[in-house]
Every structure is written in structure tokens, then in C-alpha cells.
Amino acid sequence: MKPYYKSLLIGCFVQIIFSCAEEISPPTNFTSKVVIFGNITNHTDYLSIKIRKTFPLNSTPSDPVNNATISLFTKDKNKNTYLITDDFSVTDGTYESLQKITPTIGNFYWIEVKVDDVTYQSSQELLRAPIDITNMEIVNNQLRAIFSDPLGETNHYFVNFSFYDPFDDFFLGEETEVSSDVLFDGNANAFIETFDYFGSNIQKRATLTHLNFETFQFYLNVIAQEESNQGYDDEGLDPGRLFASPPTNLTGNILNTTTNQFALGYFGVVSISDEYIFIPQ
């Protein structure tokens, strides 16, 4: 279709939509819900967890929860359960453990959160061994993070690619990719790639995160939702995003033990490799 006629068609389509629009007032029966988000990694560090409450569309977007109590638990290979810590400081809804946590590979971890006499408990997730990136290369204009995938087990990965000016270390942007090892199980030269690499004279950095399946599925849904919410596609601005994917199911792994319903948010147990830096030639 010629560009003129295509623009005319889109213009008419937009006019029809807005001529039929009707102002709708937000519902008044809003019920606030607790949102919990955080993760624990294989690195020794303070544990940080954010707790908020949802808010109506016409209110100020800030409702931190500062009266929660948090407990971090672990279960070892012999199925012995231990309380690691329940000592946290809180600032504007962000809780931080008073001491650094040193997780153990092969243990399960979860949190219990109490807010207004309601207890929320995350699923028990295994802390898997980290998988290191062994090399990075550019093939057919795509940047690859290369690693050795363990043989005979199902693995799920999240890769963060970040790009910097090599002269002043100025941050230029980042890309994220998620993948399972269905197509490369046991491959010593497995790779995950991204098209955006910001040119040949840009410093590239990458970290590889080893996930549980539930965490992998959650982040996969988050990325799909973000892509669906983007206002542009290959054909330009899509009026009203009428052809966007429907909202994905972002159900987390934190259960309201009173109602047996999943709360909003997620507590992930993940292993992160050390950052791999690709120096431009």
C-alpha cells in the first residue's frame, strides 16, 4: 500500500476511535493489595525486599509498607530447616537485613512476611550453582554470551547485556534475554545472543543468571508484557495498541496463607555469574 493511502487509512481509523470514545470514571470500590518483591543470590550480600500496596489510578503512586516483619528461612540437603534472620531495617518500604547473608549452593530458601496480621510465604526455591560466561563474540551482527550448559538437567537462564563507552565508561544501554536449554542441553559452547550490540567500538558486559523454572517463567511473562506495552511496532504507532498481546499472567510465588491465593510480587532464588567484559579491538 502506498504511504499516502496508508497514512490516510490510519488517520481515519484514529478519528473513528476517538469519536466513539467515552470518558469513564475510575471504580470507587478499590481494594489495596500488598506487593512483595526481592531475591536472594549466591553472592554474600545484604538481603533487600521491597513491600508496597497497590493504589488507585487517581492517587499519588506511593504507598510503602513500613510495619511488616520478615523472616528468611533455608532448608539444607538433609531437609533440616533453619531461620537465617528476622532482623531488618526499613526505609520507605524497602527492608534490608542487618547483616550480610552468605547463601549455600544446593539449599532451598524462602521468606515469610507478616503485614496487618496476614502471613505471606514464598515458595521454597533451590539455589543452583552459578554458570560462568566463558567467552563473548559477534556473529552475523549478533552479540553472543557463550557458556557451558550442564548435561542431563533442565536449566533456565537470564542474560543481561550492558553497553559502555570504552573511553569514559559512560553507560549507553542494556538488553535482556531469557532462555531455557531445550535446544542446547549439555553443549559446552552454548550461547544466548542479542541483536543490539551498539557497534564495534563499544565495550560490552554480560552477566548470566541461573534460574529456577518458576522464576524463569515469571521473568519471561514480565518481558512479554513490557514488549506488549510498547507503543511502537515495525509499522509505526499502533493506535490504541488494539493488536497488542493480552496481559500475561504475572502471578508470583508468594502465597497469602489465610486465603491460599497468590499475592502480587515475587521472591526469587537465583545464581549470578561474575560480570564478563568484552573489550573492543
User: What is the b/e burial string over 158-193, where b = at least 16 CB atoms within 10 angstroms of the residue's CB?
Assistant: bbbbbbbeeeeeeeeeebebbbbbeebeeeeebbbb
N- to C-terminal Cα separation, the chain: 44
**SS3 for 221?**
helix
Report how far apart, in Å, the C-alpha atoms of 131 and of each of 10, 70, 157, 182 are: 48, 30, 9, 16
pLDDT (0 to 100) of residue 60: 61
pLDDT value at 175 more than 50: yes
pLDDT (0 to 100) of residue 199: 77
pLDDT (0 to 100) of residue 141: 84
- Res. 31 pLDDT band, cuts 50 70 90: confident
Average pLDDT, the chain: 83
Look at 223 and 99; give whichever has higher pLDDT.
Answer: 99
pLDDT value at 17 more than 70: no
Q: How far apart are the C-alpha atoms of 154 and 213, rounded to whole Å?
A: 9
Question: Residues 15-42: what's their mean pLDDT?
Answer: 69
At 34, list the grid cell: 500488598
Share of the chain above pLDDT 70, in %: 78
Q: How far apart are the C-alpha atoms of 215 and 193, rounded to whole Å?
A: 20
Is-contact 42 127, C-beta < 8 A? Answer: yes
